[in-house]
């Protein structure tokens, strides 16, 4: 058993923002070196928007995935991203979901509870002309009412460090029945964060950097 499977043991204006949902109602619908991201910016590594830099707000707890880890993750997902339906549960800058859109994902749902961060994410999607393939939900991933017909192929779980949110997130995915057969779940945590992954998931890939643990799991069906 991988330590990631039991870490307690060994841890989303031309389109008028038509897809931006608030928690209560609608608000209407030369590159850097790998591993480096300019302050207040995230860089799209590959795909349709390769090399584009997008502004992100400096906000407490907002920690975009580094270019190094992001590149590794999407190498893992290389044969799975095109046409995929994705969920970014703790979107923040939206770096992971936007990278997925750039690489051909069919749709990404972004969930972000900070209003200003969600608005910036929505603006970036409009700038990229990707708003028709995305939905930004301003709210909490734990209280969001998911559509059981969603059938997400890829889910990104990259919550604030040190909050013990991974296991609860996985339980919500399973209880809401929103995963497609053989769905892929990406988890990124700090070294000190603990979590256990249910036995219905198998470890696919994992990486440890100086700052994070990252792992990709597949739902067994």
Please choose, from the candidates 144, 151, 90, 143, the residue with its C-alpha nearest in 3D space to the C-alpha of residue 117: 90
CATH no. of 20-219: 3.40.50.150
* More reliable by pLDDT, 32 or 78: 78
With a threshold of 0.85, does the pTM exceed it?
no
Mean pLDDT of 20-24: 42
How many C-beta atoms lie closer than 10 Å to residue 43's C-beta?
A: 21
pLDDT digits (tens, 9 = 90+) for 118-140: 999 999 999 999 999 999 999 99
For residue 182 the two structure tokens come to 């053989």
Quick one: pLDDT band at residue 164, thresholds 50, 70, 90?
confident
Q: How confident is the model at residue 60 (pLDDT cuts 50, 70, 90)?
A: low
% of residues, the chain, pLDDT over 70: 79
As a whole number, mean pLDDT of residues 187-204 equals: 93
Is the pLDDT at 218 greater than 80, yes or no? yes
Q: What is the spatial distance between Cα 99 and Cα 105, in angstroms, rounded to a whole number? A: 9
| Between 111 and 31, the higher pLDDT residue | 111
Residue extents of the structural domains in the chain: 20-219
What is the mean predicted confidence (pLDDT) over 187-198?
91
């Amino acid at each position: 058993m991988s330590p990631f499977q039991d870490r307690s043991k060994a841890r989303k204006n031309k389109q008028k923002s038509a897809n931006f949902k608030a928690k209560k109602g609608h608000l209407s619908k030369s590159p850097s070196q790998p591993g480096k991201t300019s302050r207040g910016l995230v860089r799209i590594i590959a795909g349709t928007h390769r090399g584009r830099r997008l502004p992100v707000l400096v906000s407490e707890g907002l920690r975009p995935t580094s270019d190094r880890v992001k590149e590794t993750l999407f190498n893992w997902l290389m044969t799975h991203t095109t046409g995929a339906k994705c969920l970014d549960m703790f979107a923040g800058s939206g770096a992971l979901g936007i990278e997925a859109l750039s690489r051909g994902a069919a749709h990404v749902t972004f969930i972000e509870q900070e209003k200003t961060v969600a608005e910036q994410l929505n603006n970036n999607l409009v700038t990229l002309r990707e708003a028709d393939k995305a939905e930004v939900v301003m709210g909490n991933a734990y209280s969001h009412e998911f559509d059981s017909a969603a059938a997400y192929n890829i889910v990104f779980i990259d919550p604030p460090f040190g909050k013990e949110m991974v296991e609860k997130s996985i339980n919500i995915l399973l209880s809401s029945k929103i995963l497609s057969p053989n769905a892929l779940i990406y988890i990124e945590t700090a070294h000190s964060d603990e979590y256990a992954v249910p036995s219905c998931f198998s470890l696919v890939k994992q990486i440890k950097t100086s700052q994070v643990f990252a792992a990709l799991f597949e739902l067994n069906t």
